[in-house]
Amino acid sequence: MTDSLAAFAGLCSAGGLVVLVAGFRGADAGRQYGRPPSLLQAVMRSPAWPGRRSRLLGAIAAGLAALLFSGWPVAALAVGAGAYALPPMLSGREPQRRIARLEALAQWSRRLAEMLGASRGLEQALADSARVAPAAIAEPVGTLAGRLNNHANTDQSLRAFADELDDPIADLIACALLLAARRRGPGTCDALSSLAEAVEQEVVVRRVVEAERAGLRTTLIVIVASVGILSVLFASSQTLSDPYGTPLGQGVLAVVAAIYAAGLGWMRRLAVLSTGTRLLHTTAPKTIGEQGPDR
């Protein structure tokens, strides 16, 4: 039994390392040869990847610790999955971050409309807007300005900008800028100002909804903490835990873990604000730096 558990732990560790190394090498190769990114590469290039990587490493460590403590493979998988999935479920940081970025995006849109109203070209106004961009979106706006200053394709630069913001509302502003870049007609200032007002209203609605759902997240924290404490006390009792060391006991434990996971998933759906489906995606086969000038 001990040998099989050790082999299982080694296999999980090796598999995790292989996936991480393959993902990093694949992402580098995709950037080098300009191939469309695979699903794994797209995930690893996402702005959320550093947090996911930390959770993944923490989940592997927690799973191995549970395996060494209990000797139950099912418990190791359940603990590892919980360590990966629960932090974003119990935290309201990500919704608040998205709201702050939307509020900053509305402010930036107004300032950009003022710059365009001063008879500046679109690309020049976008590049200059990096100096007045709010802190919440300073990095993506600075990246956009850098691409345009390097004579990158305006269309693909704006699509990449929308990907970095990763929000359907931000896609609306990117769409307005894409249309302005293609048609070069009047009305861009009015469109940006109207969109800024719509984004500000969306921010108000999201703040109200998040305030109401904070209570649900508190309830979820209490449930998870209670289940975790009871599970540790249960596993510490040899009399209660011995039946779960058998194959039948592991099957029963898997069913119980699945029921808990389904309940937590259902509560997660209630606690998450749906923002809809994004409109824009980067689809060009070449990278931004490989595009020719669009001025």
pLDDT per residue as tens digits for the range 112-163? 888 887 766 888 888 888 888 898 899 999 999 999 888 888 888 888 888 8
Three-class DSSP category at 15: helix
- Burial (0-12, 13-18, 19+ Cβ within 10 Å), 269: exposed
Domain count, the chain: 2
- Residue 275, pLDDT score: 63
Same domain, 285 and 173: yes
Taking the C-alpha atoms of residue 59 and residue 63, their distance in angstroms, rounded to an integer, is 6
Taking the C-alpha atoms of residue 110 and residue 143, their distance in angstroms, rounded to an integer, is 19
Same domain, 286 and 167: yes
On whether residue 191 sits in a domain, the answer given is yes
Expressed in percent and rounded to 5, the helix, strand and coil fractions of the chain are 80, 0, 20
On whether residue 214 sits in a domain, the answer given is no
On whether residue 198 sits in a domain, the answer given is yes
Same domain, 39 and 121: no
Residue range(s) defining the domain that contains residue 21: 1-72
Same domain, 124 and 53: no
Could you tell me which of 91, 129, 135, 88 has the C-alpha nearest to residue 110? 129
What pLDDT digit, counting tens, does each position of 226-252 carry? 888 888 888 888 887 888 888 898 898
Same domain, 102 and 59: no
Same domain, 55 and 121: no
The whole-model pTM stands at 0.62
- pLDDT averaged over 10-residue windows placed end to end, the chain, 295 residues: 47 49 44 46 54 82 86 88 83 82 91 80 86 89 90 88 85 88 78 88 87 80 85 82 85 89 79 68 45 43
**Which residue type, as a one-letter code, is found at position 131?**
R
Same domain, 58 and 135: no
Same domain, 122 and 178: yes
- Residue 34, pLDDT score: 41
On whether residue 295 sits in a domain, the answer given is no
Q: How many CB atoms lie within 10 A of CB 248?
A: 9
On whether residue 129 sits in a domain, the answer given is yes
On whether residue 41 sits in a domain, the answer given is yes
Of 57, 72, 87, the position where a domain reaches its end is 72
- Residue 151, pLDDT score: 85
- Give the phi and the psi of residue 217 in degrees, each rounded to 5: -65, -35
On whether residue 134 sits in a domain, the answer given is yes
Same domain, 57 and 182: no
Same domain, 198 and 151: yes
Same domain, 4 and 60: yes
On whether residue 220 sits in a domain, the answer given is no
What sign for the dihedral angle of Cα 175, 179, 182, 186?
negative
Q: Do residues 40 and 105 lie in contact, with contact meaning Cβ atoms separated by under 8 Å?
A: no
**Which residue type, as a one-letter code, is found at position 133?**
A
Same domain, 165 and 286: yes
